[in-house]
Amino acid sequence: MKKLLFGIALLIPALLGAWEKEVLISTPNTSLLLSAPQGEELKFVYYGDKIDEAQVSQIYDAGLAINKAAYPVFGTESVYEPALIVQHADGNMTLDMQVTGVERENTDQYELVKVMMQDKVYPFGVDVYYKAFKNSDVIETWTQITNNEKKPVKLQKFASAYMPVRQGDVWISHLHGAWANESKLEVEPLKRGMKVLKNKDGVRNAHTDHAEVMISLDGVPSEENGRVIGAALCWSGNYDLTFDTDDTNFHGFFAGINPDASQYSLAPGEVFVTPELALTYSDQGVGGASRNFHKWARNGKVYNGTKQRDILLNSWEGVYFDIDEPRMDQMIKDIASLGGELFVMDDGWFGGKYQRLTDNSSLGDWVVDEKKLPNGIDTLVAMARNSGIKFGIWIEPEMTNSVSELYEKHPDWIVCHPKRTARPGRGGTQLVLDLSNPEVQEFIYNIVDDLMTNYPEIAYIKWDANMSIGDYGSSYLKGDKQSHLYIDYHRAFRKIMERIRAKYPDVVIQACASGGGRANYGLLPYFEEFWVSDNTEALQRIYMQWGVSYFFPSVAMASHVGSSPNHQTGRVMPLKFRFDVAMTGRLGIEMQPKNMTEQEVEFSKKAVETYKSIRPVVQQGDLYRLISPYDNKSVASLMYVTPEKERAVFFAYKTYHSYAQVLPRFKMNGLDASKNYRITELNQDADALSGLDGKIISGAVLMNEGIELPLKNEYASHVLELNEVN
């Protein structure tokens, strides 16, 4: 009854067009407070630990109410950085927005709050949305911009969100990288002036910087202590995250599509929806904020985020372009005999008139190369089936080469202004297809649709994208719409993925883009996982995977065992170390298994079997980062713990080796102090055991005192499984 009354109480103010001035939006442990007085500006008041309605006044009483515009627009307080700049058809550059209504919608999963605003003079509206999840501490926020004027309005800047952050000892942690060196962690204090993280690639947005950031409010970021706000822009294209520290007491944080060269002409009646900015807050350091993101991601933001992932062999580093039936047959049989569950045939399988022998031709000609595979893909699928495993395939649908039948037929389908000559990329011939063109969208959808129709048993698609937009321009877009290309490209990409998902909900799709160029929440709603990097060297991967784990869950992190010497760095390292690193994510193998020694085959078989047993903990457990490789302590360590805390898997690695080193103890985290745990050493190396196998130790000791590990040799590592003893 009480519940019912509450429901009516919520509905009535909305119906009457009157509502509480204070708009409180909460998740299980966090709250965001707005002030939305009718006819006035929407204000951002508070974001932090959860408060209830009765505590709202305390925020004001304590002087904590920020009271700055929640979505600042250009034109009235022009000296400050705005989130939105538009030019009306009459040339007027200004906006003056007032709140006209607040609506709330409740489901089992989330509460959606919509604050409606209208310009005081122009028929121009902005609705600000807040989606507060009920099973994770994430609030997604975005805007919907509506032009009800008679002529087009030009959008010049259109951030998804703005958030004022009180100055103090505020630090940011974000990721930066390049091909084969992705997602390196950068940690820095926020100083006066502007800090801008932006990307202009056009296609991939996780090389250079990333569209995610952690904001530590209480000084130098700590893994488990202090207040942290995490922000992730859910957009696969160019983005702009800006911190503007002006003469107020605040850092202004803006996040949205990068408006550079992207002025958007909004037609009368047209609605522009900005991508979601996912915000989280934790008082348990960056570790707490990461766990919040992971939970939210697994529960919906990553496609099939709670589904178990298969262990696979990918053919790329094993054979590169030298695909043929005997090699595929051998690799399928080898991964099956190692206990793997899926084989993925990478680049090199296609091409009709032009054979794809290297990276300089045939993209777009998605027909089987009958010289390499005379019996076609059906035979390979059958080989996999007969070996008891699944089959997957590589495609790069958004691209073509100037040497291809597709380009010969449709030279106007590429990204490039018709008055310019395109400068090709990879292989000296690669070109990007113009996704703003509906014919191209249809073509791309059909690549997947044809493959899945012809070979319905395809269980996995590696979707690659190996080029940026260099020569800006479109043969399809009209003159006044040329500046829509960056945005329309990614809207079309999303539309294509929606169609694919509607028809093929079960095929697993990996986002790959020259390695890790597409780790972002704009596309993960359609992809199960992303490839972290083309650098498969385990030591480098410790750093990259550490960075990625700030924002992305392990279930989405494709992590493969590479060769030794490693193909990217040339480093020689033991198979155990390579497995121990790859086993912290979605395990795969990226090498030619036939080159393994008998001993290595035996080790791999056991490791694959072991991974299967710990997979639920690694892929779905809570991550605790224990010792950062960036702290230069010569070791790195992390662990995964089940929500019930009855099972955990601990990983430790030597990252730097020298004589007479004093290594730190390894203090665990996330366990139940009152429980006892039996330790089992996994992936054992008989010559370098931890000495902990079979020991029973309490959660309290493991967390407060930690454990000693020998880690005597270069590339030493340990994996320990912990099980509660009753």
C-alpha closest to that of 236 among 534, 395, 400, 469: 469
Q: Which stretch binds ligand GLA (CB under 6 A): 75-83, 336-344, 384-392, 507-515?
A: 507-515
Of the residues 182, 276, 534, 681, which one makes contact with ligand GLA according to CB under 6 A:
534
Considering beta carbons, is residue 391 or 531 the nearer one to ligand GLA? 531
Footprint of ligand GLA on 3-42 (CB under 6 A): none
> Which residues make Cβ contacts (< 8 Å) with residue 444, sequence separation at least 6?
397, 398, 433, 435, 496
C-alpha closest to that of 317 among 546, 612, 681, 591: 591
* 3-class SS of residue 504: coil
Considering beta carbons, is residue 517 or 621 the nearer one to ligand GLA? 517
Considering beta carbons, is residue 172 or 591 the nearer one to ligand GLA? 591
Least Å distance, CB 672 to ligand GLA, is 41
Least Å distance, CB 153 to ligand GLA, is 40
Beta strand extents in 473-512 (DSSP E only): 508-511
Beta strand extents in 275-424 (DSSP E only): 277-282, 312-314, 342-345, 390-395, 399-401
Least Å distance, CB 320 to ligand GLA, is 8
Residue pair 449/443 in contact (Cβ under 8 Å)? The answer is no
Q: How many residues bind ligand GLA (CB under 6 A)?
A: 12
- What whole-number distance in Å separates Cα of residue 293 and Cα of residue 176? 19
Residue pair 130/112 in contact (Cβ under 8 Å)? The answer is yes
Residue pair 402/361 in contact (Cβ under 8 Å)? The answer is no
- What whole-number distance in Å separates Cα of residue 517 and Cα of residue 62? 45
Considering beta carbons, is residue 23 or 511 the nearer one to ligand GLA? 511
Least Å distance, CB 71 to ligand GLA, is 38
Residue pair 564/575 in contact (Cβ under 8 Å)? The answer is yes
Considering beta carbons, is residue 82 or 425 the nearer one to ligand GLA? 425
Least Å distance, CB 505 to ligand GLA, is 24
Q: Which stretch binds ligand GLA (CB under 6 A): 79-87, 443-451, 510-518, 708-716?
A: 510-518
C-alpha closest to that of 76 among 40, 35, 27: 40
The dihedral sign for the CA sequence 510, 414, 157, 98: negative
Which DSSP symbol is given to 663? P
What is the β-pairing status of strands 193-198 and 647-654?
A: unpaired
- What whole-number distance in Å separates Cα of residue 514 and Cα of residue 531? 9
Least Å distance, CB 74 to ligand GLA, is 41
Name the β-bridge partners of 531. Answer: 558
Considering beta carbons, is residue 231 or 589 the nearer one to ligand GLA? 589
Least Å distance, CB 466 to ligand GLA, is 5
Site string for ligand GLA, 577-606 (x = CB under 6 A): ------------------------------
Q: Which stretch binds ligand GLA (CB under 6 A): 59-67, 398-406, 474-482, 511-519?
A: 511-519
Question: Does 182 sit near ligand GLA (CB under 6 A)?
Answer: no
Considering beta carbons, is residue 359 or 537 the nearer one to ligand GLA? 359
Residue whose CB is nearest to ligand GLA in the complex, by number: 347
Considering beta carbons, is residue 346 or 529 the nearer one to ligand GLA? 346
> Which residues make Cβ contacts (< 8 Å) with residue 59, sequence separation at least 6?
33, 45, 46, 51, 65
Least Å distance, CB 350 to ligand GLA, is 12
Distance of CA 720 to the CA centre of its chain: 28
Question: Does 464 sit near ligand GLA (CB under 6 A)?
Answer: yes
Query: Quick check: bond before 565 cis, omega within 30?
Result: yes
Footprint of ligand GLA on 329-358 (CB under 6 A): 346-347
> Which residues make Cβ contacts (< 8 Å) with residue 711, sequence separation at least 6?
635, 652, 654, 663, 717, 718
Q: Which stretch binds ligand GLA (CB under 6 A): 187-195, 508-516, 549-557, 659-667?
A: 508-516
Least Å distance, CB 700 to ligand GLA, is 45
Question: Does 514 sit near ligand GLA (CB under 6 A)?
Answer: yes
In 10 A of CB 149, how many CB atoms?
19
What one-letter code names the amino acid at 254?
F
Of the residues 466, 536, 545, 564, which one makes contact with ligand GLA according to CB under 6 A:
466
Considering beta carbons, is residue 514 or 568 the nearer one to ligand GLA? 514
Question: Does 394 sit near ligand GLA (CB under 6 A)?
Answer: yes
Considering beta carbons, is residue 36 or 512 the nearer one to ligand GLA? 512
Least Å distance, CB 329 to ligand GLA, is 20
Considering beta carbons, is residue 390 or 462 the nearer one to ligand GLA? 462
Least Å distance, CB 57 to ligand GLA, is 55
The encoded tokens of residue 340 equal 């793997």
Considering beta carbons, is residue 430 or 619 the nearer one to ligand GLA? 430
Least Å distance, CB 498 to ligand GLA, is 24
Question: Does 145 sit near ligand GLA (CB under 6 A)?
Answer: no
Which DSSP symbol is given to 148? -
C-alpha closest to that of 253 among 244, 266, 265: 244
Least Å distance, CB 533 to ligand GLA, is 8
Size (the chain), residues = 726
Least Å distance, CB 230 to ligand GLA, is 27
What is the β-pairing status of strands 171-177 and 153-166?
A: unpaired
* 3-class SS of residue 518: coil
Least Å distance, CB 316 to ligand GLA, is 5
Q: Which stretch binds ligand GLA (CB under 6 A): 65-73, 512-520, 522-530, 535-543?
A: 512-520
Considering beta carbons, is residue 161 or 511 the nearer one to ligand GLA? 511
Considering beta carbons, is residue 285 or 515 the nearer one to ligand GLA? 515
Least Å distance, CB 607 to ligand GLA, is 22
Considering beta carbons, is residue 515 or 574 the nearer one to ligand GLA? 515
- What whole-number distance in Å separates Cα of residue 443 and Cα of residue 448? 9
C-alpha closest to that of 332 among 112, 589, 75: 589
In 10 A of CB 657, how many CB atoms?
13
Footprint of ligand GLA on 114-143 (CB under 6 A): none
Residue pair 139/27 in contact (Cβ under 8 Å)? The answer is yes
Considering beta carbons, is residue 288 or 562 the nearer one to ligand GLA? 562
> Which residues make Cβ contacts (< 8 Å) with residue 294, sequence separation at least 6?
552, 553, 554, 622, 623
- What whole-number distance in Å separates Cα of residue 407 and Cα of residue 108? 49
Query: Which positions lie near ligand GLA, rule CB under 6 A?
Result: 316, 346-347, 359, 394, 464, 466, 512, 514-515, 531, 534
